[in-house]
Chains A and B, each alone.
Chain A
Amino acid sequence: MNRRTKEKTYFLFFRFCGAIVVLALLVLLTYIILGGIRSVNIDFITQFPKQGMSEGGILPAIVGTFYLCTIVLAFSVPVGVLSAIYLVEYEKNSTVKKIWRIVVHNLAGVPSIVYGLLGLGLFVMALDFGFSLIAAGLTVGLLVLPIIIAAAREAILAVPESVREASLALGATKWQTIRHHVLPYAMSGILTGIILSLSRAAGETAPILMTGAAYFMRSLPDSIFSQFMALPFHLYAMATQSSDLIATRPIQYGTALVLLMLVIGMNLIAILLRKKYRQKYRW
């Protein structure tokens, strides 16, 4: 075969691969959107389930997911970001840094179900939180912690050393340098990481399945020690265990669509944010 035709054939295959990926996304979105669009309306997102979950809305699941994300936000973001600052800016021992990087990378790849086991054993049983919002929130918080640390670390590392040197040369202390120069530049990267990990937290099912998500609740959770409904668990339970799988299909599609829009919305915000700041800071 001629060199040029060979090149063309191979490139055609690569184009085809790219097209398949886009096609997969389009097919998935189309089916979920077409399936869910008729179920989703104001009532669907503002009402409680009715008639043994076969009618009504998914308000408690939306609120539960929101509460869960709030706990994750309150726990993982400060801990993760502060740890990343310490490890990048203060830790002098390069071996410690290296070990820490490997541990964080690897823990980010640990299956979510293993975190579920941890949450069940540690928070639900050993610490006696019971099946509750706080147990599930801390479990998911632990799960996204490595992701937040890794993202914050990358963002802080990406700030050039010259920025720090200039600030220190003018007599600023280390913390002033970090506070007024490093963090503002790194903020977009940190924020992107936080939004992405929150969207991950909103979609996680396996860990909350074992630590406190409920199939049905008559009221919204009134304390962090009560059980809660959540969008992903609602979808899973309705699709596999509800009394009439076919009749409740519109609700399943509706929940899937709401969850998908929530997560995609967060992802889009993160993508746009990153794009905006990439253009703003260049060095």
Chain B
Amino acid sequence: MTMKIAIGIRSSLKGLKQRLISRHRSEMYNKKEYAIKAILFVVTLTTIFTLSAVFFFIFSEALPAFDEIGVIEFITGPVWNPTSPTNPAYGILPLLCGTFLVSLGASVIAIPIGIGCTIYLAEIAHPKIRSLLKPAIEILAGIPSVVYGFFALVILSDWIYAIFHNTYRLNALNGAIMLAVMMIPIMVSLAEDAMNSVPKELREAAYALGATRWETLKGIIIPASLSGITAAIMLSIGRAVGETMTVLMACGNTPIITWDMLSSVETMTAAIAIEMGEINFGSLHYHALFAVGAVLFVITFAINFVADLVLSKFTEVYH
């Protein structure tokens, strides 16, 4: 009897101890869990803070320029000549025009080739060829822009000269071709995702009705992934608009308003990169360059935002 009681007491004591330990442990876990969550939260807040600094900083530094020059004059002014000692002019129309001309040229080359390549990769290529083509495209996407710029500067410009005997060695066409090569990998990888996410049933239904592969592609797969393809094209255009080193080294950097692809032009990005090195901090020119950056930021952000919207709005249809 006493034996039983003793065992009973001992075992219940043991249970209590166990309970206490486990409670202690779970409290420790709770504290630790809580601390981890708090740390992660703080880090995330810092990230949000730093990234929003991008918005505010660019705009606050651009404000004095918009104030002094006037937003309308700044955007529609036909002369960009901020270094003139007597009559500096801050109109970014030539820069907008240069950016537009080069990006347009690049898009005209890149969109058909990029989409064609995507279709080949996603639908036609043999798996073995695909497993070679995909890394090739990824490597193309990873090459630094300064290397593309170097290639355009020393090699591509010679080839263009050999064909057109143009007056300007460095011109919009030179930059556009190089930008197209940079746009294609971005476009292909995004558009391929879109084509791959078309449900298999749709394709099988088309084959079952006797459609050829091309008819299935044209009638089913391309329409079904059109939003993804559109977004891919827009994102790659956004990338082209914001590209700096390639256009800086390839386009000759003369701020003039022209439609001639063989003329030397200057883009917004190139103007910032060239002129930032040789100005007085806090001067009107300094703020004007931030204003160019702000305009560039708004343009690329708008393109990306719309592309995101197109993508998220239409991908829901199949899921």
Q: Which A residues lie at the B interface, using CB under 8 A?
A: 3-4, 6-7, 10-11, 13-18, 20-22, 24-25, 28, 31-32, 78-80, 82-83, 85-87, 90-91, 100, 102-103, 105-107, 109-118, 120-122, 125, 142, 145-146, 149, 173-175, 196, 199-200, 202-206, 209-210, 232-233, 235-236, 239-240, 249, 252, 256, 259-260, 263-264, 266-268, 271
Contact = CB atoms under 8 A, between A and B. Distances in A.
Given A25-B140, A107-B54, 10 more contacts: A7-B215, A14-B120, A83-B47, A85-B40, A106-B308, A174-B33, A203-B146, A259-B146, A263-B142, A267-B139
Interface in B68-122: 112-117, 119-121
Given A14-B120, A107-B51, A109-B239, A252 B150 contact: yes
Contact of A106 (B140, B248, B305): B305
A18 B214 contact: no
Contacts of A111: 241-244, 269, 296-297, 300
Contact of A210 (B121, B185, B276): B276
Given A21-B140, A79-B43, A86-B41, A117 B51 contact: no
A219 to B, nearest CB: 23
Nearest to B115: A17
Contact of B290 (A6, A106, A117): A117
B133 A21 contact: yes
A125 B249 contact: no
Contacts of B153: 239-240
B308 A11 contact: no
Given A3-B212, A109-B238, A209-B273, A87 B44 contact: yes
A122 B57 contact: yes
Given A85-B40, A142-B54, A236-B245, A13 B296 contact: no
Given A21-B113, A25-B136, A90-B41, A118 B154 contact: no
B43 A18 contact: no
**DSSP majority for the B interface?**
helix
B16 interface: no
A124 to B, nearest CB: 9
A27 to B, nearest CB: 9
Interface string B125-148: 100010001011111101111111
Contacts of A142: 50-51, 54
B301 A206 contact: no
**DSSP majority for the A interface?**
helix
B188 A21 contact: yes
B244 A264 contact: no
Given A31-B151, A264-B139, A264-B142, A83 B43 contact: yes
